[in-house]
Structures are given as C-alpha cells and as structure tokens.
Amino acid sequence: MKSQKVQFDSKQSTLSGAGVNLKPQHYEEALSLADSSAQTKATPGLWFEVHTENYFVRGGPRLHYLQAIANSFPLSFHGVGGSLGSFTEKPADMTTRHLSQVAGLVKRFNPVMVSEHATWSTSQHAYFADLMPLPRTEQALACLCEGIDHYQEAIGRSILIENPTNYLDFVSEMDEADFLMEAVQRTGAGLLLDVNNLYLSYRNTALDPKHYLEALDPAKVGEIHIAGFDVDPNFPNDLLIDSHAAPVDEAVWELLATALTKLGPKPVLLERDDNVPSFDELMQERNRAYDLLTASNNTEHESQLAVAHA
C-alpha cells in the first residue's frame, strides 16, 4: 500500500544559494557578513549549516553564536548521529534522548532545512562516530524508513537523507539510487545529494554517476553537498576517503555542474571538517559553487523561456 504521507517537494523549499558548514573558529567572521547591505553585495545567497549534535549543550558561546547566526542567515541542521539505518536495533532510550535534543534545537532555531544520513552509527549502546553503510535489502530499507519516520515525527517536519560514501560493495537487492528514492517515497523525506560521496563511490566501487543521477527524481532533491577527499596512501589508485579535509577536487566540481544540469538549481553546501582553512579561503570555494549555481539557474530560466515560446 502506498503511503499517504506528505511528500517532500524541492519546489516548496525556501532554501537557495550556496552555504558553508560553520565552525566555531569562524563565528565572528561569519557574523561580520551579517550586515544586510554587505551580505547582499558581497555574498548573496549565503547560508550556514551546522552539525546538530555539536549543539547538544545547555548554554554558553555555542548556542549564543548559533542564535546570532540564525538571526541573520538561513540555517540548516545536519545530523551525524541519528543512526537511522539501525533504528530498530539500537536502545530505545538512546534514540529517545537523541531525538529529544534534536527536537529542542529545531524548535528553538527553526532551521530552514534538517538533514541526516542514510547510514547507521549506533548499535548495542555504542556510538561509532562514523557513517557505516547499509546493505540495500528490503529489511535494511524498512529499518531506515522506520528511523526516518520517527525522526520526522519527533521534530514535526520532513528531513533530507544523504547518500553514503561507498568503499566496498555490500550484497544488495537494488541500486543505491533506487534504494534512496524508495526510502524518500515511503517516508515523505527528501534527498540530500552529496556529490563528493557520489564521486568517491564511483571511483571506489565503479558506481555509475550518470545512471545514478538519471534515477533521481529532481523534485525530491533538496540540497547538494560538496567536499574534499583524501587518497589512501597505501592504496592510492583504489581507495579515496571522504575526509572533508581538503579543497574540493576538480572532478567533483565537474560532477556538481553535471548534477545541477540534470537536477536543476539546488542549494549547494561546501563542507570542511578537518584541516579547516581561513574563512576567506572557504568563502572563495563557496563563491565558486554559487557562481555555478547561478549559471545553472540562468540556463534553466532560458530553457523555460524557450519552452514557453515554442
């Protein structure tokens, strides 16, 4: 039976432009752009994303600065510890505590977007601080959907789920794009397409990005991530690691352009979590993403005009 849930539609989203994931060392510089005239002229379409779990605190500078940012810029929450793919197998008290904290933050800051990962990280009372893959089976899909359902129920809104980075091939009953599309269809969630993850999955496991992008419903894609990766020194030709510790690779920029062409304009986020450079350096990369996005916006606008005049 098909779900009657309200379905995510990217056309309804108010998030646009290009963002940066915000680090504490950049709070002041980010806020210096908060003056509305300066922001409009220098950094149009700027928004910020934070890792939700880093704000599981009761007060202090983190929440203070987050409030100041939220007062001036669109804000997106990106969860890294929801462990949606092990929902049925992790202790209920851990899930309840986690969702209660996420819900409190969502209520307080009212972010434009909330997202999580189609992976797992918690099992048997242990939180493994990484994003572990799911085998693409019906059972795993059901578990993931239950996790998404509870997450969305707890915060009272729909979320986006992010595609994983693949390092190996796990036995599967369906392609990753089909698996994710089925999950968003059943739950009413949307998709966060991480182009860097897609590129690494292509390089690591020969997943076909062209086929992958064609299998996605553009209306379900609410956000795109880009980031840098590392080459494993022991297996330089065979293993690329999603480190977020380097500038975005040229091949990922190219794939971003392809994705924007196929999916239409989507808000793009630059992620950097390690070897974090200066704010200016990050903003230069972010501005390149914004320019690409603007170009794709113009292309879409021109094609719509062409259709209208046809």
Partner 1 sequence: MPDTTFKHSDYLDSFTQFMKSGENEPLATYLEGARPIGFLNVYRNGYLKASVSGLESNFPALVTFWGEDYFRQVANAYVDYAPPNSATLVGYGFDATHDEPNPSFFEFMQTQLPEVVAQFPYVIDICRLEQAWLQALNESSEGVLTLETVQDLIARGEDLAELPLQLVDSSRVIELDYDILPLWSQLRFGEVTEGQQIEVQENTVIFWQRDLQVQAKQLMEAEAVFMKSLKQNESFDAATSMALGMDENFDVSTLFAELLNAQLLKLEN
User: Which contiguous run of DSSP H or E holds residue 78?
Assistant: strand 75-78
Residues in 160-179 that interact with partner 1 by CB under 8 A: 167-173
Give the three-state DSSP class for 131.
Answer: strand
57 binds partner 1 (CB under 8 A): yes
Which is nearer to partner 1, 21 or 296 (by Cβ)? 21
User: Which contiguous run of DSSP H or E holds residue 30?
Assistant: helix 27-32
Which is nearer to partner 1, 29 or 130 (by Cβ)? 130
Residue of 25, 126, 208, 277 interacting with partner 1 (CB under 8 A):
126
Contacts with 12 (C-beta within 8 Å, 6 or more apart), sequence order: none
Contacts with 294 (C-beta within 8 Å, 6 or more apart), sequence order: none
228 binds partner 1 (CB under 8 A): no
* Alpha-carbon separation of residue 160 from 29, 89, 235, 274, 287 (angstroms): 28, 22, 33, 24, 24
Residue of 68, 94, 231, 276 interacting with partner 1 (CB under 8 A):
94
Rg (CA), the chain: 19
The identity of residue 20, as a single letter, is V
Which is nearer to partner 1, 130 or 291 (by Cβ)? 130
Choose the stretch contacting partner 1; rule: CB under 8 A; options: 8-16, 138-146, 187-195, 255-263.
138-146
Which is nearer to partner 1, 21 or 204 (by Cβ)? 204
Contact positions vs partner 1 (CB under 8 A): 53-54, 56-62, 64, 80-83, 86, 88-89, 94, 97-98, 101, 120-130, 132, 135, 137, 139-140, 142-143, 167-173, 204-205, 232, 235, 238-239, 241
